[in-house]
């Protein structure tokens, strides 16, 4: 075989994707409880599914045909209306919004569009593991600033000031956060925007969990003076619409940036999935989206979150965590237990799966500061299985610690 390029060799394979593949295989053999990947287990709104089934039957050619690279204009207009309604922000659906193949493509397009070789992108440690490798793939370099459970996982503007330099090209802000569930403090957002203006860098605002919030609203960064002309927001229908398989999301940004990202998208995926876009047009119509979030998504996840919180306190009383304000993950400092057990977070997670058939994600996958932690999602299993899974974790830990 001829030599491969060095590009794929320089990035690591996603460990969460590997766990997802293992899980598919293992599920066929035993009763596995997954607190692993953040895949919604509730179905999307029934009206949306009924609509798309009918449309596929009655207008087949239109529904399965190619669309434009930027996405269907009817969907982009609905997104603009929705953002105006929820956050009072004004986007031109023609020029400032593009539909993407999930948030994942949005992140890739944003990074390849803003980065030149060796320019730096600042991310948090720990953070979503989709960023560092995409930064490297785009020729950039990763810099990090720390966050900790003691500070409620809020980053500090002073830490950011220490890392920012003329090489800084972008900062990735994620709120609500994966893996920690925190919603960003407005004070940090203000400090970040001021620095971004002073040093002239981009803010990539990953808002894929923007609607999954329990106690307070997630801030929308473009509302801050000076932010809009230097921000690309990343959005997804995987979480808020429970439709990850459609692989759809959208980005917002200044017209020149959208145009540049469109040029790259033409050669990466040509156009977003048309069937899914029609489904999403329906999602925005007749108040379906807001009703679905209000009556199904948020109450279901809130109950699961509260239950998991109680069970973490009951079965892992020495672990440290915070009640997630948004998204659907607990990030748990397990160092007390891991030290007593003589195991790393990865060994713990592997053994837990092997011995008790429960999946959790090792915290070290999210960065150096995640070492000694685990991430557990409450989105994939119903309440009785959350109870059962936590009981199994409790039994596993106490078999070592008496």
**Closer by beta carbon to ligand PLP, 236 or else 315:** 236
Least distance in angstroms from the C-beta of 167 to ligand PLP: 25
Among 69, 112, 138, 178, binds ligand PLP (CB under 6 A): 178
**Closer by beta carbon to ligand PLP, 251 or else 258:** 251
**Closer by beta carbon to ligand PLP, 102 or else 372:** 102
**Closer by beta carbon to ligand PLP, 327 or else 353:** 327
Of 107-166, which residues contact ligand PLP (CB under 6 A)?
A: 128, 130
Give phi and psi for 126, each to the nearest 5.
Answer: -80, 160
If one asks whether residue 104 binds ligand PLP (CB under 6 A), the answer comes out as yes
If one asks whether residue 191 binds ligand PLP (CB under 6 A), the answer comes out as no
Cα gap 104→13, rounded to integer Å: 15
If one asks whether residue 269 binds ligand PLP (CB under 6 A), the answer comes out as no
Cα gap 331→181, rounded to integer Å: 8
**Contacts by 368-371, CB closer than 8 A, 24 or more apart:** 368/125, 368/144, 369/125, 369/126, 369/146, 369/147, 369/148, 370/125, 370/126, 370/179, 370/331, 370/345, 371/344, 371/345
Among 152, 226, 244, 254, binds ligand PLP (CB under 6 A): 244
What DSSP assignment string belongs to 340-400?
Answer: HHT--HHHHHHHHHHHH-EE-EEGGGG-GGGTTEEEEESSSS-HHHHHHHHHHHHHHHHTT
**Closer by beta carbon to ligand PLP, 172 or else 311:** 172
Q: What is the DSSP letter of 33?
A: E
Which burial class, exposed, middle or buried, applies to 95 when counting CB atoms under 10 A from its CB (0-12, 13-18, 19+)? middle
Among 35, 36, 38, 261, binds ligand PLP (CB under 6 A): 38
Among 40, 67, 219, 249, binds ligand PLP (CB under 6 A): 249
Which burial class, exposed, middle or buried, applies to 268 when counting CB atoms under 10 A from its CB (0-12, 13-18, 19+)? middle
Piece in contact with ligand PLP (CB under 6 A), picked from 100-108, 257-265, 269-277, 309-317 = 100-108
If one asks whether residue 253 binds ligand PLP (CB under 6 A), the answer comes out as no
Q: Which of 69, 76, 53 lies closest to 281, judged by CA?
A: 76
**Closer by beta carbon to ligand PLP, 41 or else 104:** 104
If one asks whether residue 325 binds ligand PLP (CB under 6 A), the answer comes out as no
**Closer by beta carbon to ligand PLP, 168 or else 175:** 175
Number of residues engaging ligand PLP in binding (CB under 6 A): 14
Piece in contact with ligand PLP (CB under 6 A), picked from 50-58, 96-104, 290-298, 332-340 = 96-104
Least distance in angstroms from the C-beta of 134 to ligand PLP: 10
If one asks whether residue 326 binds ligand PLP (CB under 6 A), the answer comes out as no
- Taking CA atoms, 378 is separated from 113, 237, 318, 331, in Å, by 35, 18, 20, 11
Interface pattern 203-232 for ligand PLP (x via CB under 6 A) = ---x-x------------------------
CA atoms within 13 A on the CB side of 332: 29
Least distance in angstroms from the C-beta of 239 to ligand PLP: 7
Cα gap 227→246, rounded to integer Å: 30
- Taking CA atoms, 188 is separated from 127, 138, 221, 224, 263, in Å, by 16, 27, 11, 12, 33
Residues 6+ apart with CB under 8 A from 272: 67, 71, 99, 100, 101, 247, 248
If one asks whether residue 176 binds ligand PLP (CB under 6 A), the answer comes out as no
Among 180, 231, 238, 380, binds ligand PLP (CB under 6 A): 238
Least distance in angstroms from the C-beta of 276 to ligand PLP: 11
- 397 neighbors 358 (Cβ within 8 angstroms): no
Least distance in angstroms from the C-beta of 66 to ligand PLP: 21
If one asks whether residue 181 binds ligand PLP (CB under 6 A), the answer comes out as no
Among 36, 45, 93, 102, binds ligand PLP (CB under 6 A): 102
Report the DSSP pairing between strands 358-359 and 33-34. Answer: parallel
Interface residues with ligand PLP (CB under 6 A) are 38, 102-104, 128, 130, 174, 178, 206, 208, 236, 238, 244, 249
């Amino acid at each position: 075989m001829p030599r491969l390029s060095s590009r794929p060799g320089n990035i690591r394979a996603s460990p969460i994707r590997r766990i997802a593949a293992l899980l598919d295989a293992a599920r066929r053999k035993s009763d596995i409880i997954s607190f692993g990947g953040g895949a919604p287990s509730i179905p999307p709104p029934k009206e949306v599914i009924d609509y798309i089934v009918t449309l596929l039957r009655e207008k087949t050619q239109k529904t399965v045909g190619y669309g434009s690279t930027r996405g269907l204009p009817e969907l982009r207009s609905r997104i603009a209306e929705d953002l105006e309604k929820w956050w009072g922000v004004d986007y031109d659906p023609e020029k400032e919004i593009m539909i993407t193949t999930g948030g994942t493509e949005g992140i890739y397009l944003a990074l390849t569009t803003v980065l030149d070789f060796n320019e730096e992108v600042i991310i948090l440690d720990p953070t979503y593991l989709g960023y560092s490798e995409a930064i490297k793939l785009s020729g950039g370099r990763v810099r990090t600033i720390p966050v900790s459970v003691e500070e409620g996982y809020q980053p500090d503007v002073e830490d950011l000031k220490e890392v920012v330099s003329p090489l800084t090209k972008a900062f990735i802000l994620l709120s609500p956060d994966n893996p920690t569930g925190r919603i960003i403090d407005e004070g940090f957002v203000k400090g970040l925007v001021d620095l971004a203006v002073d040093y002239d860098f981009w803010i990539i605002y990953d808002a894929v969990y923007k609607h999954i919030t329990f106690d307070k609203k997630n801030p929308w960064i473009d509302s801050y003076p000076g932010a809009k002309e230097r921000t690309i927001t990343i959005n997804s229908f995987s979480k808020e619409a429970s439709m990850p398989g459609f692989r759809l999301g959208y980005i917002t940004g200044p017209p020149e940036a959208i145009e540049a990202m469109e040029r790259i998208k033409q050669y990466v995926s040509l156009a977003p999935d048309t069937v899914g876009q029609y489904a999403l047009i329906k999602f925005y119509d007749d108040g379906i989206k807001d009703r679905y979030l209000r009556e199904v998504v948020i109450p279901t996840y809130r109950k699961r979150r509260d239950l998991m919180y109680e069970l973490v306190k009951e079965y892992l009383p020495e672990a440290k965590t915070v009640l997630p304000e948004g998204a659907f993950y607990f990030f748990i400092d397990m160092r007390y237990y891991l030290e007593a057990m003589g195991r790393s977070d990865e060994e713990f997670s592997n053994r837990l799966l092997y011995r008790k058939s429960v999946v959790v994600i090792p915290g070290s996958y999210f960065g150096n500061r995640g070492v000694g932690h685990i991430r557990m999602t409450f989105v994939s299993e119903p309440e009785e299985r959350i109870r059962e899974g936590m009981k199994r974790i409790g039994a596993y830990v106490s078999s070592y610690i008496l």
